[in-house]
Chains A and B, each alone.
Chain A
Amino acid sequence: MPVFKVFFKIMGRYKVLVIMYVCIFMGISITIGSINGKEKEEKYETTRVKVSVIDRDGSELSKGLKDYIKEYNNLIPLKDEENEINDALYWRNSQYIIIVPKNFEEDVKAGKSVNLITRKIDYADTTRFVDEELNQFISLLDYYLISGYSISDGIKKVRDNLKNKVQVSLVKGDKKLYMDSTGYYFQYAPYVMISVCITIITMIMIFLYEDDIKKRCVCSSMSLKQQNKELALASVLFTLMIFVVVVIGGIVMSKGSLLKSESLIFYMVNSFAFSMISMSVAFVFGVFLNSGDSVGGVCNVVGLGFCFLGGVFVPLEILPKGVLNAAHFVPSYWYVKANEITAYMDSANSEFIKEFCTYVGIEMLFAAAFLAIGLLCSKKRVIFG
């Protein structure tokens, strides 16, 4: 099998490059996967905000309000000076400052509209909880005062009422609420596969299809069919090696838990389909390109193009509509779709399998189409004159 052997002999000359590519891309995939895929908590918890209350009224109501705020937040003492207030917010010593104006209690009793002065960090989501707490306190107290309660009884009633908590339980469906690090790892895998395949398969094909070498091979007693068979076999074997490395990387990434997971088979099937696409694309470029110098450029353009357009590097949700429509014609889009449903899957029900098979089927069609183009063009290229 001379062609088969020469493929791996030449690949051996590029082994440092291959190892470098695999290591760099795996490193990037694993790092990004680890950063993005940290498991998020699936439960809610009240947060305590750093709140300062400046009491200019010194009334029973203002003290009651202060005690109420203290119960749910961390009360930070603060002087009633503008500079101190600004510094506290700037240095994040306080996230929320409530200034109780003079005659606050009197105005509330008189039924006047009372505005508490508040200062807060504008973009902090947590401060909304304090807004809510204040609104609830004032509105409820208003009801009690109208109903004839005294200030002290009103405050007591409000605090008792607000102590009641609602038990929240999340409705759990057959989907996870987040993509774990393994999901992210497999999301980035297409870049590894397509880059390595183009670098090696395309490069070796350029050597084999070089006009003078091709002439010499065509003149030999080994049929062109046999030579192509050996080349195809070597390419498939090399692609499978890359596929295996990617899967092993995924298992390592998940610290072995993927081995016990139902997702493993789906990640494997999806990665296998994309590895076939990578091989076919590399084959097409191997037929078309004449010079090894262009391989690096093509590898970058195709690898990055597929990954950016297909939603590998950029989430599909944030792609503009036009780009998203174009992405349907990029095989990595279907890979990402299959990967996403696998990552969010809790159990493989029939609906999931149907959807998954559709995406993988489209990927395989892409692989077949690229292979057909490559075969057609390679046939034309060997007929000299």
Chain B
Amino acid sequence: MSTVVKIENLVKRYGDLVAIDHLNLEIQEGEVFGLLGPNGSGKSTTIHCLLALLQYNKGNISVFGQEIRPDSYDLKRDIGVIMQNVAVFEKLTVEENIDYFCGLYIKNKKKRKKLVDEAIEFVELNEFRKYYPKKLSGGLLRRLNIACGIAHKPKLIILDEPTVAVDPQSRNKILEGIKKLNEEGATIIYTSHYMEEIEQICTRIAIIDKGKVIALGTKEECKAMIKTGETITVDVPGLNGEQLKSIEGLPHFYKMEYENSILKVRFEKGKHNLIRLLDYLKEQDIDFGRVYSEVPSLNDVFLEITGKELRD
């Protein structure tokens, strides 16, 4: 596998604000690489620098082994971009929009026609070919937006939060489409603040906060970086201080929250944590309601490293 994107020591400042702080990334061919971080963490700025839309203060960015600059048109031929906002012409039909954006890469009319048809097929907009964008639903619009970015069959596809404000059904279709593009050979860079999406489709993840990579690897590798192994939530009213202290004494105990009768206990990696906690509650004759256990999520990774939730 060869390196498709290499970002070294990238620094981007907006006046005194450091948006990207010595960021390093290496993305391999065939990966679905996820950039996860809260709003304002620097994901989009990184993408803009990668696309040479922004001038950066320091660092190097290379794509397919070559430094990318605003006039790197040969490199740009192999890159497809799908931005956060839907970028299509309202006065052109679905087919005309895809044809226009594909035309910015492919001059041959016959070849372009074939690619446009394939893109329409891919995003399942066949029956909406002659529709104007304002007649399409939010989900269909997003699919059109994707079709405009991938029609020229790029080797590297960059998707910047493509599922913002999309209904669950359309979101699933979009995610399935991205997986399919990857299966067809494209390398994907996917930015989102939805950790579920990242977990669902990405083979490797970089979690970004304040312009820095705070965790990098597969989702398992990222989760292995933190202490939390399991979070158990119990609906239990009226626990007193002594009882809470006893729970803290359970084996593998890591952290605990108790608010509005909801007890949330984080355990380090280890077995039988749930049984031990429930046994204790039964021993103390404490009534409890709903109980559930969760394995660590990327949110837990982010929470443990930064002390704040991903969606803060």
Contacts and interface: CB of A to CB of B under 8 A. Distances in A.
Contacts of B103: 2, 5
Interface stretch (A46-54, A135-143, A220-228, A322-330): A220-228
B53 A216 contact: no
B144 to A, nearest CB: 12
A377 interface: no
Contact of A213 (B71, B77, B87): B87
Interface residues of B, number: 31
Interface string A1-25: 0100110011001000000000000
Contact of A212 (B51, B76, B85): B85
Contacts of B141: none
B149 interface: yes
A221 B48 contact: no
Contacts of A217: 104
B126 interface: no
Contacts of B104: 2, 217, 220-222, 227
B91 A13 contact: yes
Nearest to B75: A221
Most chain A C-beta atoms within 10 Å of own C-beta, residue among B71, B83, B86, B104: B104
B32 interface: no
Given A216-B101, A222-B105, A385 B14 contact: yes
B92 A215 contact: no
Nearest to B82: A216
A207 B14 contact: no
Where chain A touches its partner, the secondary structure class is: helix
Contact of B55 (A6, A222, A385): A385
Contact of B76 (A5, A219, A227, A383): A219
A221 B14 contact: no
A159 B38 CA distance: 109
Given A212-B87, A384-B53, A219 B81 contact: yes
Given A2-B104, A13-B91, A213-B87, A218 B96 contact: no
SS class of chain B's interface: helix, strand, loop or mixed?
loop
Interface string B148-162: 110000000000000
Contact of B100 (A2, A215, A383, A385): A2
B92 A222 contact: no
A219 B96 contact: no
Contacts of A383: 55
Contact of B96 (A9, A216, A222, A384): A9
Most buried by B among A216, A383, A384: A216
B74 interface: yes
Given A217-B104, A221-B76, A222-B104, A6 B53 contact: no
A219 B81 CA distance: 7
Contacts of A222: 73, 104-105
A10 B87 contact: no
Nearest to B154: A221
B89 interface: yes
Contacts of A218: 53, 70
B11 interface: no
B79 interface: yes
Contact of A216 (B73, B83, B90): B83
Contacts, number: 71
Contacts of B86: 212
A219 B51 contact: yes
Interface string A363-385: 00000000000000000000111
B54 interface: yes
Nearest to B90: A207
Residue with the highest number of chain B CB atoms closer than 10 Å, among A222, A223, A224: A222
A207 B14 CA distance: 28
Interface string A203-240: 00001001011011111111110010000000000000
Nearest to B106: A221
Contact of A220 (B76, B88, B90): B76
Contacts of A212: 83, 85-87
A6 B97 CA distance: 9
Given A9-B96, A221-B77, A385 B54 contact: yes
A6 B148 contact: no
Contact of B148 (A9, A216, A224): A216
Contact of B92 (A10, A227, A384): A10
Contacts of B87: 210, 212-213, 215-216
A28 to B, nearest CB: 28
A33 B189 CA distance: 64
B149 A216 contact: yes
A360 B200 CA distance: 67
Contact of B105 (A221, A223, A385): A221
A74 to B, nearest CB: 68
A133 to B, nearest CB: 73
Nearest to B51: A219
Contacts of B79: 219
B100 A6 contact: yes
A384 B48 contact: yes
Given A6-B100, A9-B96, A385-B48, A219 B89 contact: no
A296 to B, nearest CB: 16
Interface of B: 14, 48, 51, 53-55, 70-71, 73-74, 76-77, 79, 81, 83, 85-92, 96, 100-101, 103-105, 148-149
Given A219-B51, A222-B105, 11 more contacts: A2-B103, A6-B100, A9-B96, A212-B87, A216-B149, A218-B70, A220-B105, A221-B73, A221-B74, A227-B104, A384-B53
Report the 6 A-B pairs with minimum CB-CB distance, sorted nearest first. Answer: A2-B103, A212-B87, A220-B104, A221-B77, A221-B76, A385-B54
15 contacts: A5-B100, A6-B96, A10-B92, A13-B91, A210-B87, A219-B51, A220-B104, A220-B105, A221-B74, A221-B76, A221-B77, A221-B104, A227-B104, A385-B48, A385-B55
